[in-house]
A and B are shown apart, each in its own frame.
Chain A
Amino acid sequence: MAPESPLLSMSKITKSFPGVRALDGVDLDVQAGEVHCLLGQNGAGKSTLIKVLAGAHQPDTGRLRWRGEEVALRSPIAAMRLGIATIYQELDLVEHLSVAENVHLGHEPTAAGFVVRGKAAKASTAALLERLGHAEIDPARLVGELSAAQQQIVSMARALSHDVRLIVMDEPSAALDPDEVDNLFRIVGDLTAAGVAVVYISHRLEEIRRIGDRVTVLKDGRAVANGLPAKSTPTREVVALMTGRNVEYVFPGRPVSPPSGEPVLKVRQLSRTGEFEPFDLDVRPGEIVGLAGLVGSGRSEILETVYGARRPTSGQVLVDGEPLRPGSVRAAVRAGLGLAPEERKAQALLMLESVTRNVSVSSMSRFSRGGWIDRGAELGAARAATRELSLRPDNPSVPVRTLSGGNQQKAVLARWLLRGCKVLLLDEPTRGVDVGARAELYAVVRRLADEGLAVLLVSSEVPEVLGLADRVLVLREGRVVHTAPARELDEHRVLDLVMEGSPAS
């Protein structure tokens, strides 16, 4: 590292949007060949900062120096020309184009200036993919046919197809399995060894420990810490910087006596060909049952099939002993099921609407007579439901899109609370929810269970399943390989099970 002249130096960057100061005098120095981690809760300004870096946003004030020279990034193309590439969390690939076409989009190898030389593009794409450890991806395949992890590799190949000196990765591990993450880290290692700088954004502290060199922590649009050593700064200190308070990953206590009584949800020999094999499952009122497994183990598919959003190949779902009509969400909702899906924005929320309307959407018949909505009653009920979950801000008339991730999740929970559902299906309930808000969400789920709700929980974060659930089903490639009370399992054991699939029982 050559400390006298950083590769990139941003100083006093400010950026305001109507009503929000997204960045308030942020400094960031990145050295060639380092992994510089960017930490911060949702809304801390990470996304805005990397968009400034990518040339997608223009800062209001502040300076940007690139290899010692002051530059202005007027457009994404300007940033790319300097050698700054960004891999966004929401992948920006064109599904209907091939891998090679995506990788070379905007800078296709051409003959006579406009005829695309497809073979050359494929060859160089294949070389890039091999360098990334994914020679099995065919450059001729359509991107839409690839898995999320493979799409991420394509996105990375695209970044590398430019002469890149700095790569920004926005939560690159979010959609990846552990072995994919290992591969990602290997790639990051290769890049930095070649002198490329990586700006790495992640919620996962353990990743930052593994590959990070330095950490910059953002909070409320300010850099509250610059260039901390990534490996030696204590976790508590980092979390305290991010949240402005000391929070541990705390799970609420379990009830003293395990829930008894008749199961409210019974799943019998439910299966979907190619997704998961027949299995049985009971959830009692007051009980939280967790499904642990890797991406692709069939977790979300099981949840959506129980909910009727997918039609089962075989088997039954019974609520209070009554079989549900298969493949009907409406039957499931009517019987008392509620789903908080994995992709909140895409699958649960009406982003243009207020919190009230998002909460009331599944219980409209309760505030209406002959189709006519009593808006006073609706607002009152929505307010009561959101208050019970201490949703912030305490005003259900605000648009739901203005809420933080954790509060948006609460809006979804409030929807089912208001509906008075008996079984809550939670798919990755804390995805996109910052560390500080997670503990609160856990407490909310446990409290709802204590009040008699049956909860079926899916999470890719093993500690979350173990900490929150009473009983855990471990899944591997669509099969339930182990069932045990959560307190008899630990993270190591679960990871063994999901990877090896060799139940000791």
Chain B
Amino acid sequence: MTQPVSPPRDSSTDTVPTAEPPAWRGLLARADVRTLSLLGVLAALVVIGGITKPDEFLDTRNLQLVLTQASVIGVVTVGMTFVIVSGGIDLSVGAIVALASVWATTVATQEYGFAGILFTAVVVGVGCGLVNGVLIAYGAMVPFIATLAMLASARGLALQITDGKTQIVTVPSVLDLGERDAYVLGVPPLVLVFALVTVVGWLVLNRTTFGRRTVAVGGNPEAARLAGIDVRRQRLYLYLLSGLCCGIAAFLLIVLSGSGQNTNGNLYELDAIAAAIIGGTLLTGGRGTITGSVLGVLIFTTITNIFALNNLQSDVQQIAKGAIIVAAVLVQRRTASTT
């Protein structure tokens, strides 16, 4: 029997054709659950801080300090999130921050004042990102190895530049940026930079073709290539972006500490990766949020602050951080499997 083709409909779905769907609601709800749980943890930490050290923790100056400390690592984490979403990793961020901060604070650079320092920090960051990106995208090196090599060389170069000495910043306009007078409505300028980077990062990841390509390259590089995306160029751009964030972070660190040191940014790579992971970014790529990463940074910084206020040593802090990473991933796996 040959019937004409009346397109057979999918029997499972030919009910309710237009019922606007629980599907996107489910997605929304899940995104919300993740963000809300992170916010919940942060709120709980604030409560703990408020109870254990009511006067010190909730003091305006302390909160300003927490946010300022979060700013440096936060900017790095935004860049790291992009790289991880694209399926890569950048182990060199801490070393790039160190190199940028010392290069931007040499006597020669400081002669050019504020602009010279900012410019140098950013250019060094982007330059390191360029080397990473070219090696990974066009040299087909594994990101882990290429950025590990960059970590070693950038740290070495930073040590060579400083000879292990702290380089004091003598440019008043840079130092002023860290002073209370510069605060805008009680918010330190560094925090404003962090907020700006966060917002721009969110917009780029969620609302632009660049963000879409990043997600596509991380989710399925072969499919992205066959869909006509220039995967290699995208990878290059991503490491440039991470380098740019490191340059900005280096400048913030210079303002914050009033100096440049080759030991700056120690283990930032691990802090940034950890923050992205507890924020829900898949280490295998294809999924991640700026909101989650930033909340991750705030959670870690708040914990560090509370521990310091309670005179707990950094060894205890480290153990707590490790426990939080494990707990966050376990909780996320549970929420993921129930949806």
B223 contacts which of A307, A346, A398 (Cβ < 8 Å)?
A346
CA distance A402 to B22 in the complex (A): 13
A372 engages B207 (CB within 8 Å):
yes
Given contacts A330-B230, A398-B21, contact A346 B208 (CB under 8 A): no
A246 engages B1 (CB within 8 Å):
yes
A347 engages B7 (CB within 8 Å):
no
B225 engages A309 (CB within 8 Å):
yes
Pairs A–B under 8 Å by Cβ, sample size 29:
A18-B337, A220-B11, A244-B11, A329-B225, A330-B228, A334-B228, A346-B222, A348-B223, A349-B220, A350-B215, A350-B216, A350-B219, A350-B224, A351-B220, A352-B286, A353-B216, A361-B224, A361-B229, A364-B212, A364-B213, A371-B208, A371-B209, A373-B207, A392-B13, A393-B21, A395-B20, A437-B8, A440-B7, A443-B7
Kindly list chain B residues whose C-beta atoms are within 8 Å of the C-beta of A443: 5, 7
User: For residues 352 through 377 of chain A, which have their beta carbon under 8 Å from a beta carbon of chain B?
Assistant: 352-354, 357, 361-362, 364-365, 368, 371-373, 375
Question: Which 9 A/B pairs are nearest by Cβ-Cβ distance?
Answer: A333-B228, A392-B13, A440-B7, A398-B23, A392-B10, A350-B219, A397-B24, A364-B209, A371-B208
Kindly list chain B residues whose C-beta atoms are within 8 Å of the C-beta of A334: 228
Given contacts A349-B220, A350-B215, A373-B207, contact A329 B11 (CB under 8 A): no
B2 contacts A by Cβ under 8 Å: yes
CA distance A254 to B277 in the complex (A): 55
A393 engages B13 (CB within 8 Å):
yes
Tell me the nearest residue of chain B to A378, going by C-beta.
Answer: B212
Kindly list chain B residues whose C-beta atoms are within 8 Å of the C-beta of A394: 17-18
B287 contacts A by Cβ under 8 Å: yes
Tell me the nearest residue of chain A to B230, going by C-beta.
Answer: A330
Write out, one digit per residue, whether chain A residues 393-407 have a CB within 8 A of any chain B CB (1) or not (0): 111011100101011
B23 engages A347 (CB within 8 Å):
no
CA distance A351 to B285 in the complex (A): 12
A130 contacts B by Cβ under 8 Å: no
Q: Nearest Cβ distance between residue B288 and chain A, in whole angstroms? A: 10
B215 engages A353 (CB within 8 Å):
yes
Write out, one digit per residue, whether chain A residues 403-415 have a CB within 8 A of any chain B CB (1) or not (0): 0101100000001
Give the interface size class of chain A: 35 or more
A357 engages B208 (CB within 8 Å):
no
Q: How many residues of B contact A (CB 8 A)?
A: 44
Write out, one digit per residue, whether chain B residues 1-39 have a CB within 8 A of any chain A CB (1) or not (0): 111110111111110011011011001000000000000
A357 engages B212 (CB within 8 Å):
yes
A352 engages B219 (CB within 8 Å):
yes
User: For residues 183 through 238 of chain B, which have their beta carbon under 8 Å from a beta carbon of chain A?
Assistant: 207-210, 212-213, 215-216, 219-220, 222-230
Our count of residue pairs bridging A and B at CB distance below 8 angstroms stands at: 135
B227 engages A361 (CB within 8 Å):
yes
A243 contacts B by Cβ under 8 Å: yes
CA distance A139 to B267 in the complex (A): 46
CA distance A316 to B29 in the complex (A): 51
Kindly list chain B residues whose C-beta atoms are within 8 Å of the C-beta of A354: 27
CA distance A37 to B284 in the complex (A): 38
Q: Nearest Cβ distance between residue B222 and chain A, in whole angstroms? A: 5
Kindly list chain B residues whose C-beta atoms are within 8 Å of the C-beta of A398: 21, 23-24
Tell me the nearest residue of chain A to B4, going by C-beta.
Answer: A250
Kindly list chain B residues whose C-beta atoms are within 8 Å of the C-beta of A399: 23, 27
B209 engages A347 (CB within 8 Å):
no
Tell me the nearest residue of chain B to A441, going by C-beta.
Answer: B7
Q: Nearest Cβ distance between residue A346 and chain B, in whole angstroms? A: 6
A18 engages B338 (CB within 8 Å):
yes
Q: Nearest Cβ distance between residue B209 and chain A, in whole angstroms? A: 4
A350 engages B286 (CB within 8 Å):
yes
Kindly list chain B residues whose C-beta atoms are within 8 Å of the C-beta of A440: 5, 7-8
A362 contacts which of B11, B208, B227 (Cβ < 8 Å)?
B227
B311 contacts A by Cβ under 8 Å: no
Given contacts A250-B2, A347-B226, A350-B220, contact A43 B12 (CB under 8 A): yes
Q: Nearest Cβ distance between residue A146 and chain B, in whole angstroms? A: 22
CA distance A329 to B226 in the complex (A): 7
Tell me the nearest residue of chain B to A438, going by C-beta.
Answer: B8
Kindly list chain B residues whose C-beta atoms are within 8 Å of the C-beta of A348: 223, 226-227
CA distance A243 to B12 in the complex (A): 11
Kindly list chain B residues whose C-beta atoms are within 8 Å of the C-beta of A353: 215-216, 219
B339 engages A339 (CB within 8 Å):
no
Kindly list chain B residues whose C-beta atoms are within 8 Å of the C-beta of A333: 227-228
Kindly list chain B residues whose C-beta atoms are within 8 Å of the C-beta of A309: 225-226
B5 engages A252 (CB within 8 Å):
yes
Kindly list chain B residues whose C-beta atoms are within 8 Å of the C-beta of A248: 1-3
A250 engages B219 (CB within 8 Å):
no
Kindly list chain B residues whose C-beta atoms are within 8 Å of the C-beta of A276: none
CA distance A361 to B229 in the complex (A): 8
A298 contacts B by Cβ under 8 Å: no
